[in-house]
Amino acid sequence: MSKNYFGTDGVRGTVGKDPMTADFAMRLASAAAQVLVPQGGTVVIGKDTRLSGYMFESALEAGFVAAGADVLLLGPLPTPGIARLTQEFDADLGVVISASHNAFFDNGIKFFDRSGSKLTDDIELKIEEHLKNPAITLESQQLGKAKRIHTARIRYQDFCAASMPDGIDLEGMKVVFDGANGAGYKVGPRALANLGAEVISIGCSPNGKNINSGCGSMEPGLLQLTVQAVKSDVGVALDGDGDRVVMVDEAGKLIDGDQLLYVLAMDRKNNGALTGPVVGTVMSNLGLEHALRAMDIDFRRAAVGDRYVLEALRSSGGIIGGETSGHMLVLDKTTTGDGLISALQVLAIMRRTGKPLSELVAGMPKYPQTMVNVRTERRMNPDESTAIQDAVAVAEDELADKGRVVLRASGTEPVIRVMVEGEDADQVVSLAKRLASIVAEAAA
């Protein structure tokens, strides 16, 4: 069965348009409660800094309480922090109100089970079945209660600090931190400062509308300029909900998720702590695959989406995985993608080895890669178009064994992502533009 509401990372859309309305949020809470908290239990709810978060927080609270669940309101907190506190509070369900890297006019709702892991497809389908019915309201004596937790940020901050290796701190390191005006705007700078770093903060003044705007992992230009201007050792940028991270080296050069994955895997390998394969995605740079295999590290590709990377790691016994975008999974430290914890692991490697980030990533070549996002009027599967598949076959013949073509439909918006990678940068750009044009025609 296909899902009508859940995408690759929860339910997401433009606020005020179906499904991102207050009424739907209340019904979604009711449906989730009936599937995952049927006998009454505890649900934690956190959010990022979007203006609409207040509305959805109240609607979800009403839906859960009416269905008999107790609710703990965590306030603004990174998505991985909510996953962690779901476990810490022994809750039955964790709920995140966030559209991650999207602009403020979008929002989303995603869930964690009691182990701090994202829901399976089967569970999401069961929730959607209950969405066909109106929200329930139990009798007064069966209703749940709600309570606001004021220690949530400090609890998560302490958890992040505890992920650092014993005996390693950041004393004397100058770090520029970009919080994307999102959920990590407080916990990021404070966690780094508590570990001894000198912190220069940007993107840490949210107003409800400036999340991911001109800052953060999606737009790191300001971070790159700031690192150079203040002569920082490194820069760290999260996205709006804190589950992605990109970094900037001492020269202001952007270091993406593939390169960070290489640094983490290389360090674990050198210290005998790497188990299982390293998992990337179909979008991971070919240079990462070649660099890891040169070190006798098994590399595997999963579908795009950190949930699929996580599934591949769990099935293979791996502990390190991630996406080019900066979704990093470090399973020997936490259960889900966590931008801040991933950044701390890289900073710890810099401190322990005494090497700048530029030197740590130098062993991984990056093949030229171009991605074009083709917006469509409707969601479509590029694999079902003969014209598109014929064009892909021609492009792959031209690249021979020196490149790749990947087409995929976004799981959160009506966009087809066209990615071409190869040794020749001009050829890569030309092929990407040609394929994007054909995709646009087929989608018209």
177 pLDDT exceeds 70?
yes
CA angle, 169 then 173 then 176, to 5°:
115
The predicted-structure confidence for 191-207, as pLDDT tens digits, reads as follows: 999 999 999 999 999 99
225 pLDDT exceeds 80?
yes
> Which residues are CB-neighbours of 139 under 8 A, at least 6 positions away?
none
Count of domains observed in the chain: 3
In percent, the amount of the chain with pLDDT more than 70 equals 99
> What is the residue-averaged pLDDT of the chain?
95
The predicted-structure confidence for 48-84, as pLDDT tens digits, reads as follows: 999 999 999 999 999 999 999 999 999 999 999 999 9
Assigned domain for 6 exists: no
Determine the average pLDDT of the residues in 133-152. 97
Longest dimension (CA), the chain: 69
Whether residue 341 sits in one domain with residue 423: no
Which pLDDT score, from 0 to 100, does residue 25 have? 98
Q: 76 and 85 in contact (C-beta within 8 Å)?
A: no
Whether residue 427 sits in one domain with residue 376: yes
Whether residue 186 sits in one domain with residue 65: no
Whether residue 433 sits in one domain with residue 303: no
Q: Is 315 a catalytic residue?
A: no
Domain that holds residue 113: 11-150
The predicted-structure confidence for 323-379, as pLDDT tens digits, reads as follows: 999 999 999 999 999 999 999 999 999 999 999 999 999 999 999 999 999 998 877
CATH of the domain at 410: 3.30.310.50
Which of 100, 163, 284, 342 is catalytic? The answer is 100
Whether residue 334 sits in one domain with residue 193: yes
pLDDT band at 9 (very low <50, low <70, confident <90, very high): confident
428 pLDDT exceeds 80?
yes
* Among 218, 8, 233, 40, CA closest to 108: 8
pLDDT band at 156 (very low <50, low <70, confident <90, very high): very high
Which pLDDT score, from 0 to 100, does residue 307 have? 84
Whether residue 163 sits in one domain with residue 60: no
Assigned domain for 4 exists: no
Q: 283 and 370 in contact (C-beta within 8 Å)?
A: no
Global pTM?
A: 0.90
Which pLDDT score, from 0 to 100, does residue 130 have? 97
Whether residue 187 sits in one domain with residue 114: no
231 pLDDT exceeds 80?
yes
Assigned domain for 203 exists: yes
87 pLDDT exceeds 90?
yes
pLDDT band at 317 (very low <50, low <70, confident <90, very high): very high
411 pLDDT exceeds 80?
no
**Which of 150, 168, 193 is the last residue before a domain boundary?**
150
Which pLDDT score, from 0 to 100, does residue 1 have? 67
385 pLDDT exceeds 70?
yes
